[in-house]
Structure 1
Amino acid sequence: MSPPPDSVPLKDFEILATELARVAGAEIEAAMNRTVAVDYKGTPASTRDPVSEVDNSVEILLRARIGEQYPEHDIIGEEIDERPGRHHSHVWAVDPVDGTANFVNGLPLFASSIGLLIDGTPEVGAVWCSTSHLLRPGVYSAHTGGTLNFDGNPMVRQRNANLRAGLLGLPGVADLDSPRFHSRKTGSAALECAFVAAGLLAGAHFLSPNLWDVAAGVVLVKACGLELLQQRGNGWNAFEKFELASMSGDLRLWSSQLVMGKKDATAALIHSDAAARDSLR
């Protein structure tokens, strides 16, 4: 029997999430040395949204590890619909391989993301990244009230005062109409969240991420004191928690437009989004 949820410090949950992310990363790295089976979601002829055998095997492994310690907790994963603790206050959001198209093509820009929500609020996050600010794989992690860590050690964001322009992660490939920023598209929302937290990207914009794409990453971003905004109606508001319009709604169905990063970066992203919408009218 696991201890009552309220009695477990968030730091302990972060330690577990970090270990889970490391385990996932080790499985992913091992698979890079062999040919993996790949299928595609959607129609039989689809070439978009691939899913590999590694996506499935890693999620099975992560679910088993979480279940060993907290069998009553709920788990929402990208590849498996099973819900062991539906309606429980503690929900683990798991994306075994975020950036699968990159992974199966050997492009080293992908991640594995483990987030913990408590009553819908993202409290703990750990993201294993195929590369990092140290040019090697590692795990960025944080919990509410804590600092950003890399491989279990506190990380201090370094800013190069010589830079005239920063980088922004965009959902498309079009460049920004801004002399202060250049656009990039990595193909992994979890990776971009971690890179924003680490200071590698000044900001990022996600049009319709799923819960498992960003549940861990938003914790990293908030731990760094960066801005995190969600579009609601015609405006942008501070993001606080994952919730649906219907109180009885399933968090698995959550999806919402987000921007994150430094204030000047989020302002540029919101301006770019508004300009793109105006051009379509």
Structure 2
Amino acid sequence: MTLDAEALSAIGRMAVEMAGLAGREMSAALGHALAVAYKPGRQGEATLRDPVSEVDQAVERLIRAHLAEAFPDHDVLGEEMTERPARGSPTVWALDPVDGTANFINGFPMFAGSVGVLHRGVPVAGAVWCASSHALRAGVYHAVRGGSLYFDGTAVAAAFNPAVRRRLGGFADASASRAPALWEPRRTGSAAIECAFVAAGLLEVARFEHPNVWDIAGGFALVRAAGGEIRTLGPDGWEVFESFGEGDPATWRRPVVLGRPEAVAELCRLSGEADRPEGGGAPLA
């Protein structure tokens, strides 16, 4: 089964609608006392590093309900819930209802709602509601495969100013001692926002160590639409990203570099042999 233009357009519209829904729910919740819990670490130990709010769960529940009605034969992979309504479907919706939850529950305006759609492992649509943007307001960055990058329906063309000699890079560790000296390091606390900001030209490059698919699926579609490059770290070094493979995307976790092609090539070169994976995620198909 392939996606024709009409089906892709319908998916793209729904992705924008669902990202906007996430944004409205987050905006409405700001200023209220939220119920917050913390997920256990990988070994089951107590940790305060991975919070989840009542809004995370409520938004994912709402989005799942809409998708079940509109696309009952599509699978859904979400951060907060384990249900897979159509496991094995070639089309998978990857949802992160609140990306940057620690920022959100503290009222720090750097959080997002991310909706990505994969078809046979390839990102074909993405919509990311961001609490801030190049337009200095909240809104949805969105794109479908083969199309341009948009922000709330208006095309976005990233401006490149050659007078800026040191640009911004998004790094998990934003300390000057760890980030490459070619970029002024920034850490937003949200992979989805960093993908959107790369696509919009606010960050030149970003690196993620072991993201989950729901963190980046929507953002990958945005970066590709903006003409950016994506590379992942595989057994033979840094590879140009083609897809998450045709296996279960829930198992995919690899280091990622994305951004302007020249910047991606340089950051991967600087990373070198020190970044060889010790096990990594599943191989690409």
Residue 270 (structure 1) shift = 2.1
TM-score, length-normalised on structure 1?
A: 0.91
Q: After the TM superposition, which residues 3-82 of structure 1 pair with which residues of structure 2 at under 5 Å, given as runs? A: 6=4, 8-42=6-40, 43=44, 45-82=46-83
Whole-angstrom distance in 2 between the partners of 1:140 and 1:265: 22
Q: Among all aligned residue pairs of Structure 1 and Structure 2, give the percentage whose two residues are the same amino acid.
A: 47
Say if 1:120 and 1:177 are closer, same or farther in 2 by CA, change over 3 A.
closer
Unaligned runs of 5+ in 2: 277-285
Amino acid at match of 2:156: M
Residue 71 (structure 1) shift = 1.1
Whole-angstrom distance in 2 between the partners of 1:5 and 1:68: 19
Q: Secondary structure at the residue paired with 1:135?
A: coil
Say if 1:277 and 1:122 are closer, same or farther in 2 by CA, change over 3 A.
closer
Whole-angstrom distance in 1 between the partners of 2:102 and 2:267: 25
Residue 6 (structure 1) shift = 4.5
Whole-angstrom distance in 1 between the partners of 2:202 and 2:214: 22
Q: Secondary structure at the residue paired with 2:250?
A: helix
Whole-angstrom distance in 2 between the partners of 1:133 and 1:110: 14
- Of 242, 259, 262 in structure 2, the residue corresponding to residue 261 of structure 1 is 259
Unaligned runs of 5+ in 1: none
CA contact (8 A) 1:113 1:127 kept: yes
Amino acid at match of 2:226: C
Q: Deviations over 1:82-107 (max 9, x none)?
A: 01111011110000001111111111
Q: Deviations over 1:122-156 (max 9, x none)?
A: 10000000100011100000011100000012112
Whole-angstrom distance in 1 between the partners of 2:55 and 2:112: 12
Q: Which residue of 2 aligns with 1:97?
A: 98
- Of 181, 185, 204 in structure 2, the residue corresponding to residue 183 of structure 1 is 185
Moved over 6 A (4+): none
Q: Secondary structure at the residue paired with 1:57?
A: helix
Amino acid at match of 2:201: G
Query: What's the C-alpha RMSD, in Å, of the aligned pairs?
Result: 1.9
The yes-or-no answer on 1:230 pairing with 2:232 is yes
CA contact (8 A) 1:99 1:188 kept: yes
Amino acid at match of 1:47: L
Amino acid at match of 1:78: E
Q: Which residue of 1 aligns with 2:280?
A: none
Amino acid at match of 1:169: G
Q: Which residue of 1 aligns with 2:111?
A: 110
The yes-or-no answer on 1:144 pairing with 2:145 is yes
Q: Which residue of 1 aligns with 2:209?
A: 207
Q: After the TM superposition, which residues 125-140 of structure 1 pair with which residues of structure 2 at under 5 Å, given as runs? A: 125-140=126-141
Q: Deviations over 1:195-244 (max 9, x none)?
A: 0000000010011000100001000001111111111114111101112x
The count of corresponding residues between Structure 1 and Structure 2 is: 270
Q: Deviations over 1:6-51 (max 9, x none)?
A: 5743222111111111111000000112011100000574211000
CA contact (8 A) 1:76 1:252 kept: yes
TM-score, length-normalised on structure 2?
A: 0.90
